[in-house]
Every structure is written in C-alpha cells, then in structure tokens.
Structure 1
Amino acid sequence: MKLSNKSEYAILAMVALAKRYHSNECLHIREIAALQKIPNRYLEQLLATLRSGGLIKSIRGSKGGYVLARDPKKITVLDVLKCIEGVDAAVPTMDSTCHTVEAEAIQEVWIEANQAAYQVLQKYSLQELRDRQASRQQIENMYYI
C-alpha cells in the first residue's frame, strides 16, 4: 500500500490548516503551497475537492482563504483519503470469484490487512498529525552542547 502524491499533498494542506484552526486564521492557496511545497495549480484542485467533501470552507474577501470545516481533532486521515481518493471505508468482502482454498486464504489475509489499515487511518486525527509534526520540529531545532 502506497500513499499517492495527491493524498500526501492533501494531508499536508489539511495539517497546515489545522495549525491555524484555533487562531481562526485563513490561509490563501499560495501560502499553503509555499509552506508545504505543493504546486499552486495542483493545490487548487485538491482544495476544491476537500471543500466539496465538506472538510474545508472557503472564505471570500481580501482576508479570506481556506479554513477547516470542523475541529482538527474530529477529522481523521481516513476522512481526507476518502475525500481525495474516494476510498471506500467499508471493509472489503470476500471475492466470489475465489474458487480455490489457496485463493480464499490469500483473500482473507488481504481483508485483514485492509481492516488494519483502515483502523490505523481512522485512529489518527489532523490534530495528532499536527502535534507529531510540532514534536519533530522541536527535536530538530534542539542543539546539543
């Protein structure tokens, strides 16, 4: 399982918005793009998808921009992936085309792996990603004598 650039950029943009959530500050596309090193045009498309998915809101005007639609503690990584990739949160079912015992055993393992992945993605919120990022930044900024 690999995270696509599209999903990674969307999560990075959402974490940038999560950092500003409690101060009620909007971020412009160009600010998010610069902070997260995401191409502007690509980011525009991602933000449009996230807005239509109800995860962010756009504010018009000179002081406008984008903000999270709800608290970052209530938006999970899985929510973002479902919005961007159209990932179905339902646990996959057994494929009816499996006719051998070997194929069914493989299918069962694949279902279990998907369930575990969904549980992990559902477990982490944008707030937790933001906190992890802050912790890593703090460690990186420390110097030792």
Structure 2
Amino acid sequence: MHLTSYTDYALRTLIYLGTQKNDNTLARIKEISEIYKVSTNHMSKVVYELGQIGLISTVRGKNGGIKLAKDPADINIGAVVRKTENLHIVECFDKENNMCIISPACNLKFTLNKALQAYLSVLDQYTLADVISNSDELLDIFRSHDRQV
C-alpha cells in the first residue's frame, strides 16, 4: 500500500503536535511546514481537514495556532488514514467512476479488498500515543532542526 503525501503530512502533523508537552502551547502551520520541508499552502489544507474531522483545535489571530483536540491515545492511526486517504486502490473500488468492463466477473477486487482490510486492520491496532512513544527522541530531532534554520 502507498499513502499519498497528503495522508503522510496529516500523520506527521499529528506526530509533531503530539510531542508538544505543554497543552497551552500552540504550534503554527509555518513552523510545522519548515520542519517537514512542506509548502505552507499544502500544510494549511492538511491542517484544515484535521480540524474539520476534530483531531486538532485551531485558534485564529496573532497569537493563534493549532494543537491536538484529543489525547494521543484517542487518535487511532487507521481512522486517520480512512479519513484522509482515498482508499479506491483500483478503479472498481469507486462505484461512481468505475468504467472497467470486467468488474462484474472480476475476482481480483475481492483479493485486493481483503489485502486493504488487512492493511487497515494493522493500522487500527495503533494510536498516536503508540507512534509517539519515543517523543523525547522526536523532540530532540525537532529542536535540532530549529537550530539549523
């Protein structure tokens, strides 16, 4: 399976926010964009969707920023992937746009669906808390990046 960069950035944003120990500290999109070397415009779209699905809180204004809206233990990785990723891994998974003529008789879609479900099942076993269990190491990496900029 291959995740889009959009989902990758969403997961990395959650990782960054999850490592921020101080609940009162708000991160800025620009700061996250610089750390991950992603355009601010693209990261803004990711952050907007994460806010829409209730994973992050956003505060507008001069002193605004973003933070996790939930405890990292309550953010399931499989659920994040389902919300941010188009899981139509082949044309026939998209009923509205399926033009494949062999769809009615094709057994491949059942095999691929089973593989997709197995993939998601593994992701469902992990939360953001699991992914950031090495938060001190991650923070060191983020801080060393700040010194380089």
Which TM bucket (shorter chain)?
Answer: 0.7 to 0.9
Judged with a 3 Å threshold, the aligned counterparts in structure 2 of structure 1 residues 114 and 132 are, in CA distance, closer, same or farther, namely farther
Match of 1:74 in 2: 74
Q: Which has the higher contact order (CA 8 A, sep 6+)?
A: 2
- 8 Å CA contact 1:73–1:128 kept in 2: the answer is yes
Shift of 1:62: 3.6
Determine helix, strand or coil for the equivalent of 1:16: helix
Shift of 1:79: 2.2
State TM-score, norm by structure 2.
Answer: 0.72
- 8 Å CA contact 2:18–2:128 kept in 1: the answer is yes
Shift of 1:133: 6.5
State TM-score, norm by structure 1.
Answer: 0.73
Determine helix, strand or coil for the equivalent of 1:131: coil
Q: Give the distance between the partners of 1:57 and 1:136, measured in 2 at CA.
A: 22
Give the helix-richer structure, 1 or 2: 1
- 8 Å CA contact 2:19–2:135 kept in 1: the answer is no
Determine helix, strand or coil for the equivalent of 2:58: strand
Shift of 1:97: 1.2
Name the count of aligned residue pairs: 127
Aligned AA (2:22): S
Match of 2:53 in 1: 53
Match of 2:127 in 1: 125
RMSD between superposed Cα atoms in Å: 2.7
Judged with a 3 Å threshold, the aligned counterparts in structure 2 of structure 1 residues 129 and 44 are, in CA distance, closer, same or farther, namely same
Determine helix, strand or coil for the equivalent of 1:123: coil
Match of 2:22 in 1: 23
Unmatched runs of 5 consecutive residues or more in structure 2: 94-102, 141-149
Aligned AA (1:78): G
Moved over 6 A (4+): none
Q: Give the distance between the partners of 1:109 and 1:135, measured in 2 at CA.
A: 39
Matches within 5 A, 1:80-99: 80-85=80-85, 87=87, 97-98=104-105
Unmatched runs of 5 consecutive residues or more in structure 1: 139-145
